Amino acid sequence: MGDFHGNRYGFQRGEGFRGLFTNLLTMKYLCSFFLLFFALLACKKSDDKIDNPLIGNWKLVQIQADSAWKTFGSSHVLTLSSTGVASYAGVRDSLRIGSLYDRYTMQENRSIWFRPSNEFMSTALSVQYTLSRDTLTFQLNGAKDRAQRYVRQR
**pLDDT over 60 at 15, yes or no:** no
Indicate the number of domains in the chain: 2
pLDDT 10s digits, 71-115: 988 889 999 998 889 999 998 888 888 888 889 988 887 889 898
Do 42 and 88 belong together in one domain? no
Residue 149 has pLDDT above 50, yes or no: yes
Query: Quick one: average pLDDT of 129-153?
Result: 89
Residue 11, pLDDT score: 55
Q: What is the pLDDT of residue 10?
A: 58
List the CATH number of the domain containing 133: 2.40.128
Residues 64 and 46 occupy one common structural domain: no
Q: Quick check: 3 pLDDT over 70?
A: no
Whether residues 67 and 141 fall in one domain: yes
Q: Based on the domain organization, do 64 and 118 belong to the same domain?
A: yes
Same structural domain for residues 84 and 26?
no
If you write DSSP's letter for every residue of 14-80 in order, what string do you get? T-HHHHHHHHHHHHHHHHHHHHHHHHHHHHHHHHHHT--TT-EEEEEEEEEETTEEEE--S-EEEEE
Q: Mark whether 41 and 60 lie in a shared domain.
A: no
**At residue 19, does pLDDT exceed 70?**
no
One domain for residues 20 and 36: yes
Q: Do 71 and 62 meet the contact criterion of CB atoms below 8 Å apart?
A: yes
Residue 91 per-residue DSSP state: S
Tell whether 45 and 107 lie within a shared domain. Answer: no
Residue 139 sits in which domain range?
Answer: 56-152
Q: 66 and 142 share a domain? A: yes
> What pLDDT shows up at residue 50?
46
Asked if residue 12 and residue 63 are part of one domain, the reply reads no
- Band of pLDDT at residue 13, cut at 50, 70 and 90: low
Residues 27 and 60 reside in one and the same domain: no
pLDDT in the model for residue 152: 94
The per-residue pLDDT for range 25-63, each reduced to its tens digit, is: 676 776 676 777 777 777 765 444 446 788 999 999 999
Q: What is the pTM of this model?
A: 0.63
Does residue 43 share a domain with residue 72?
Answer: no
Nearest to 102 by CA among 90, 120, 84: 84
Q: Are strands 76-80 and 103-106 parallel, antiparallel or unpaired?
A: unpaired
